[in-house]
Homo-oligomer: A and B are copies of this chain.
Amino acid sequence: MIRAGIIGATGYAGAELVRLLLRHPEVEIRWFGSRSYIDKKYASVYQNMFTLVEDVCKADDLEELARQVDVIFTATPQGFLGSILNMNILGEAKVVDLSADYRIKDVAVYEKWYQIQHKSPQFIPEAVYGLCEVNREAVRTARLVANPGCYTTCSILTAYPLVKEGLIDPDTLIIDAKSGTSGAGRGAKVNNLFCEVNENMKAYGVTTHRHTPEIEEQLGYAAGRQITVTFTPHLAPMNRGILATEYASLVRRPDGTYPTREDVREVYERYYHEEYFVRVLEDGVCPETRWVEGSNFLDVNFVIEERTGRIIMMGALDNLVKGAAGQAVQNMNLMFGLQENMGLELVPVFP
């Protein structure tokens, strides 16, 4: 059995890790870290775990934790792991970091968008960006995995094959994303109160959201050059789910024509046909968040608009699963040589 510890176990992503790892056949959770609830029963914070978890919450002593477990998940605010990670820890346990600290290779970009000074940039080079469908082989041998963000997982994978194959012009890419409110975390803020979120749609972080450089970096690798995209997140009155609607101009082929629906479909199929977690939907079926809720699936599809020469790509995932905890477990499975979807064969819950 793999012994696992979770730092930030009482946030929504941390709690989702608990939900998934409790039913993972090869994992045992040994440490429920929560700075705010030290010595409180975990199940009294998350009553859904009553009778399932008997443990109390522990402090964030990463060095001690590293000695006791095989893998550490950090579902913590930005900057936390960066300020505390060291060689001892990495020498003792593998780390899957759900924060953004090691996602961006250029530390200056990280510091500019996050407004945080990075305290351990020396670990950035070895960190593997844990987007399994793209970096599978690197993840297998990593000891530090930067688990991708929720918006970024959805945004990148939805466009990745078309960028990689040059079917769309990445500089025309506009991503309009809608997220459930669990993405905002469990902090007590007026803006996240029920009455403020319910019956409302709003954009936020327009032109400034921190997931922007992460998308640009990863799709830039696919494009083979630096790219710039527009990314606008929105808050939707629902618990879970991200829907990304992505717009880009198709690249004309040498004969001046645009790629056809069949061309585009062929590319998506080629990239995702063997991916358990990415479902390319049938023609005419738009991804919807309800169809992936509670699961690690990402549903994608597209529509070509001949009038404008654009393509509309759509992707839907559960921000707490494929967008956070599920992908973290998927990374762990790869890091420990387990079957990639072990413990993750979750059937989406509907309604």
Interface size on A, residues (CB 8 A): 83
A44 cross-chain contacts in B, Cβ below 8 A: 282, 285
- Check A15–B350 contact: CB distance below 8 A: yes
Copies in the complex: 4
Q: Is A281 an interface residue, CB under 8 A from the partner?
A: yes
- Check A12–B351 contact: CB distance below 8 A: yes
- Check A245–B310 contact: CB distance below 8 A: no
A350 cross-chain contacts in B, Cβ below 8 A: 15, 19, 46, 48
- Check A232–B245 contact: CB distance below 8 A: yes
- Check A234–B230 contact: CB distance below 8 A: no
- Check B188–A193 contact: CB distance below 8 A: yes
- Check A229–B351 contact: CB distance below 8 A: no
How distant is the Cα of A209 from the Cα of B101 in the complex, in angstroms? 42
Which candidate, A89-97, A118-126, A198-206, is the interface stretch facing chain B?
A198-206
How distant is the Cα of A50 from the Cα of B193 in the complex, in angstroms? 21
A232 cross-chain contacts in B, Cβ below 8 A: 245, 247, 312
- Check B202–A289 contact: CB distance below 8 A: yes
A237 cross-chain contacts in B, Cβ below 8 A: 194, 198, 236-238
Q: Which of A205-221 contact B (CB under 8 A)?
A: 206-207
- Check B312–A207 contact: CB distance below 8 A: yes
A301 to chain B, nearest CB (A): 9
User: Closest chain B residue to A277 by CB distance?
Assistant: B51
How distant is the Cα of A12 from the Cα of B155 in the complex, in angstroms? 31
- Check A291–B47 contact: CB distance below 8 A: yes
Q: Is A111 an interface residue, CB under 8 A from the partner?
A: no
Q: Is A240 an interface residue, CB under 8 A from the partner?
A: yes
- Check B15–A48 contact: CB distance below 8 A: no
- Check A239–B310 contact: CB distance below 8 A: no
| Known interface pairs A230-B310, A294-B349; A47-B200 also in contact (CB < 8 Å) | no
Footprint of B on A, CB under 8 Å?
12, 15, 19, 22-23, 44, 46-52, 171, 174, 176, 178, 180-182, 186, 188-190, 192-204, 206-207, 228-230, 232, 234, 236-241, 243, 245, 247, 279, 281-282, 285-295, 299, 303-305, 307-308, 310, 312, 314, 316, 345, 347-351
- List 10 A-B pairs, minimum CB-CB distance, nearest first: A48-B348, A195-B351, A202-B288, A200-B290, A194-B197, A176-B176, A201-B243, A47-B291, A207-B305, A188-B188
